[in-house]
Amino acid sequence: MVESRLAKEFSTSRTPIREALRMLVVEQLVKEGEGSLRVFEPSYADFYEIYELRLSMEPYAAKLAAARWDEDIALRITDNLQQTSAVLEGQRRIDIIQLNSEFHQCIWEACRNTRIQRMLENVSTLIQYYCLLVLRINQLQTNLFAEHTAIWQAIASGDGELAYQRMQDHVEKDLRILDVARQEGRMQR
């Protein structure tokens, strides 16, 4: 990726291009190396690291959320679930990814642990990328609404252990889908 070429292509100065590239590096979508910038090409190892992080943090965040959620979060999650149900009928992948991201961010907020929230937000762009990949591999077949509803019901009932288990199952499902894709050669190592 060359700043001057991108600036010319987008008819802008190099300053906004430089800032955009810096942001993409921070979000880990562009990699620096050997004096150049390259688009991130995820491997299975990259994916697995993100999912190990998710499995170590998101179920615990759901458990904490069961004891710490408030009415604002409840309203946001209820609205999110209604939108998710409607969007899944239309199968618009980009809307599904956005709503999935919003649901998980609500759980991160509800856990009321800013360090957990910050760490997960740090990799949220990569999480979205892999969710998109899972949807593509799964040809948009998803139980997202049912899984999110089950997680929310456990949180809303105050059952932290059940919320933990349901979130763990939810994240592990994506891991299994990508494991199968790797084994079938549809994902690089």
Per-residue pLDDT of the chain (189 residues; tens, 9 = 90+): 677 777 788 888 888 877 877 777 776 667 777 777 777 676 778 888 888 999 999 999 999 999 999 999 999 999 999 999 988 877 666 788 899 999 999 999 999 999 999 999 988 888 888 888 887 777 656 788 999 999 999 999 999 999 999 999 999 998 888 887 778 776 654
Task: Assess whether 48 and 35 both reside in one domain.
Answer: no
The per-residue pLDDT for 7 is 76
We report the CATH number of the domain holding residue 142 as 1.20.120.530
**Does residue 34 fall inside a structural domain?**
yes
Return the pLDDT at 82.
94
Residue 106 lies in a domain: yes
Residues 32 and 70 in one domain: no
Q: Same domain for 118 and 178? A: yes
pLDDT tens for each residue of 82-97: 999 988 877 666 788 8
What pLDDT, on a 0 to 100 scale, did the predictor assign at position 1? 67
Instruction: Tell me, yes or no, whether 20 and 104 share the same domain.
Output: no
pLDDT at 69: 97
CA dihedral 37, 40, 41, 42 (to 10 degrees): 150
Q: Write out the residue range of the structural domain in which residue 18 sits.
A: 3-39
Q: Is 24 a domain residue?
A: yes
Same domain, 55 and 15: no
In total, how many domains does the chain have?
2
Is 189 part of any domain?
no
Evaluate whether residue 81 is within a structural domain.
yes
Are residues 26 and 60 part of one domain? no
Q: Determine the pLDDT at residue 187.
A: 60
